[in-house]
Structure 1
Amino acid sequence: MAQTRGNLFILSAPSGAGKSSLITALLKKHADMKVSVSHTTRDPRPGEENAVHYHFVSADEFKALIAKDDFFEWAQVFDNYYGTSKQAIESQLDAGIDVFLDIDWQGAQQVREIMPSVQTIFILPPSKAELEQRLNNRGQDSAEVIAGRMAKAQSETSHYNEYDYVVVNDDFDTALSNIETIVLAQRLTLNAQASRHHDLITNLLK
């Protein structure tokens, strides 16, 4: 059976929809799925490791990578830069690994222009009230910050119709199963199976 190239996925969601928890749970179940490690110029937070949570680089290093066209997508958020390396992703895809990009709708648009075959998934919360409750339950942000996140969530959600798939994270296990189904189905497309089982199909058609 031939080695087939992995698939690239984008997962987007408003803050509090449960995207990070879903990605973490999915990767625990599948060794051949990875989340892309982005580059950033911001300082590491307590407990964050270089090349695990982010590739931490200087602003000059980041700008040099932009000049080399090394990013699928990049953005400046306040005083910091964030970007997704083409080389890192391509090497994982070539190894047959399915790669997930945890980026917003703007980054998704940039990636889609470069790689139209990317599969995109938008995760919705079950309601505004539940989303606000989840943000409050984190106990990390002030009421003012949460109000800002709720306003941003509405803006982000308005782009849900630009995505290939929409998953509502009402029940966590169901949402996880839905995402897993989407990913595994991509491995069974005609092109993927024709490549993976080339010798079998050739033999069957003799």
Structure 2
Amino acid sequence: KYLAKHNAVFDQLDLVTYEEVVKLPTFQRKTLVLLGAHGVGRRHIKNTLIAKHPDQYAYPIPHTTRQPRSDEENGRNYFFVSHDEMMSDIAANEYLEYGTHEEAMYGTKLDTIRRIHQEGKMAILDVEPQALKVLRTAEFAPFVVFIAAPTLQNIADYDGSLERLAKESELMRHAYGHYFDLTIVNNDIDETIAQLEAAIEKARTQPQWVPVAWVY
């Protein structure tokens, strides 16, 4: 996955540290945002959830400037665009996030998320936490889930990667924890999916607090 280090929109926005909230009987969240340290398993969670409920969830197809391979069809796994077109759309704040990988640009366009909503599905995003600056609006109405690193007990950490995950997770929790609707420790994929399903169903059917700006 490319590292989304840049976004023209982010430079113009600040994350709010305090906001007024209101309690509603029910409120439909439109976007499932999975946050977590790199390597914590968000992609596997996303793919598992979509495979299990293709009628409920979808992932926005990325745009890229690389050339399509012989077996690739535009709009299936990627939308293929020119470098000039992508740079123009980035300047127009049409991308949620973007980055470069092996000299090609990749990015997630806001319209691909909107299209999923129009189909009556929940868009799943595994993004950098800075993307919340754009997503925390009534239009995208995110349910933010923090995927925490697996616990270190009883797991052999031969190369120190689990310790790195744990440290990165703690830094992210400290910086963005007040935006999390749910935290799941990803020790077991089946358990993680079950917790996600239950939490999303609860958010659909039970009273919840949401930012006033999402309602009025």
TM-score (norm 1): 0.66
The verdict on how the C-alpha distance between 1:164 and 1:82 changes in structure 2, with shifts beyond 3 A counting, is: farther
Whether 1:180 aligns to 2:204 is: no
Whether 1:158 aligns to 2:171 is: yes
User: Do the aligned residues in 2 keep the contact of 1:40 with 1:54 (CA within 8 Å)?
Assistant: yes
Moved over 4 A (4+): 42-50, 77-80, 113-116, 128-133, 149-153
Amino acid at match of 1:176: I
Matches within 5 A, 1:30-49: 30=53, 31-42=55-66
Rounded Cα–Cα distance in structure 2 between residues aligned with 1:126 and 1:59: 39
Amino acid at match of 1:76: G
Matches within 5 A, 1:64-103: 64-71=88-95, 73-77=96-100, 80-103=104-127
TM-score (norm 2): 0.63
Shift in Å, 1:84: 2.3
User: Do the aligned residues in 2 keep the contact of 1:37 with 1:53 (CA within 8 Å)?
Assistant: yes
Q: Which runs of 5+ in 1 are unaligned?
A: 134-142, 192-206
The size of the alignment, in residue pairs, is 175
**Alignment RMSD:** 3.6
Whether 1:7 aligns to 2:34 is: no
Residue 53 of structure 1: which of 77, 99, 108 is its match? Answer: 77
Greater helix fraction, Structure 1 or Structure 2: 1
Shift in Å, 1:173: 0.9
Write the deviation string for residues 108-162 of structure 1: whole angstroms up to 9, x where unpaired.
33322685721111111213585966xxxxxxxxx7xx86x97587346522314
SS in 2 for 1:187: helix
Percent sequence identity is: 25
